[in-house]
Structure 1
């Protein structure tokens, strides 16, 4: 027998789990939701969470913290969150620099660096006990197609195969969504010709909750403060030209630490330990369609940004909650897959998406070009941010991820 739901979410990662929780918290409607995830989800019953040295992290803006506070999950994430009380932006070998202080904005922190596993466990724990939510895991969504009732999704659960149907299908299954491709949804790709190296490091001194963003020849390097005993651990995202990748990966840990230190200098202290190195190619990817009848793309399925400004996940979080808000405004659940509701969501988020994507892409292109006049503009801009309060405040608001209109999904 085919099970029917109001909403089927494919992808139980951070974006999909956030949307599932927001829909259950809806104050106006009750939604029968299925959350489909190919991998087993960690729950709070599996013992206390102790982040390993090599855990991957996400930078949550101040705006994202406020949203997760409203959802009631921030308190579970907070013990693992490294606060960013100051941001130092510079260009290697140049005299211009910008220093932003959270206290100047009346805040303790611009944002927080939180292990992905801590965010995930907090969300999954909050999903437990909702009568209208069915979590299907491990379950692989093999294919999907339109049907008279909405969208039919074919699942593989071990040796078992079955179909489920939703009035609305939400794809939050990553940047290379085979289901989106199956619907013929193309994406625009712009290859930056770079790879991101992601690694955690320990320092010879405390990071003092300062984040460093330095633009270097062919890329950028960001050092983000992690919560740790002694506050001496930082998460690093180092973007390099693709033709340098293998040379850096061939270095031993001491050689890699030396190469990384040469990019940032000794303002952070000395790098004394380097963890496991992960890497991935960098592209700007945007889906040519984010909504169609009965279908929505979220997260990296909708847009994948360069990590230089750390705003990709924060944008996806706002997308998810604005979608929950629009669905909450449906008169009946039969309308959930209709274009009138989905276009309302997209209209609310298009300006936010355009602004965030353009700013992220623009930073890469501004600091990536080699010309004397652009170099002068960059240095003048970094100095001007220190001298012009209005410009500095606007830059800080971008770092804080404060949307012009916060979603109202409850």
Structure 2
């Protein structure tokens, strides 16, 4: 059968995008800024599976494509590559070691010279609790290895798949790591853990305040200004797999607010992606059906009051676009990714797009940097 490997590229565009405007027409008018090609392309490597940018540095994960396979069945490197986005040059490559099913690079974060890498299946086969690693991107030194502080036995599944490292975030003081399949509070309810970035010490464990079975609390995480935002996309408080997101105080651990899906449809997975900047919170619901089956939505909230500010709809909706599969909030710019975009110019059935739109919450247009991850079809068993 054919598998899709996200082998190819992160394309950086500068575009002016009017809210709900014709993105495709505008994008074609602006020159390509940079192409980041996989320097060592291998089938199933999944280059571009994760991505983070800070200033002039980009971090791209290539965690390998067979997350559930027996070790060695599809051997390929697991890598995370640090790029200079102005020149397109590779600054450093981090290797995942000998565990070729550990998903090293499934999640990444960057802050200054610090690079945080999640490996949610790292560990002996059948006990893949997960790990995360903090590196110095200048020297390449490993600064800390973060282990799951509450490894569980796998609950009804029989294997210890906490997926610690499925999501990561950091700032100057803290490292935040999600373990969405942790069974401490029930089958795959999930947890998230806060560490000191200097010492590596565990500071606090965040538990799901509204636990239901298979909530996947910790599937997405964000960290900003002493506050922690954690998504639980399978939470069933408001219906089957509708989802929630929860805001905590990083110092006290107190729950500040629970964000509910404002436009509930079936299995929205509100909280599959989260981002936070100052007093604004962004939550993706990539399976929302408001604009069509699994088209998706994104919601912007006030972090202080919890009030909904704006809902963003897919400007070019198509069935199963999963608009909101990835979100980032930076100042007045909202970046929204679509997992399965079918409206990219010259699209063909062998491509799956991950496209990022800009929608300013308080204005109509903005100049932004666009990122497009283009999947290339490869063949395998």
Q: Do both share a fold (TM > 0.5)?
A: no
Structure number with greater Rg is 1
User: What TM-score range do you get, normalising by the shorter chain?
Assistant: under 0.3
> Per residue, is there more strand in 1 or in 2?
2
| Greater relative contact order (Cα < 8 A, sep 6+) | 1
TM superposition score normalised by structure 2: 0.26
TM superposition score normalised by structure 1: 0.25
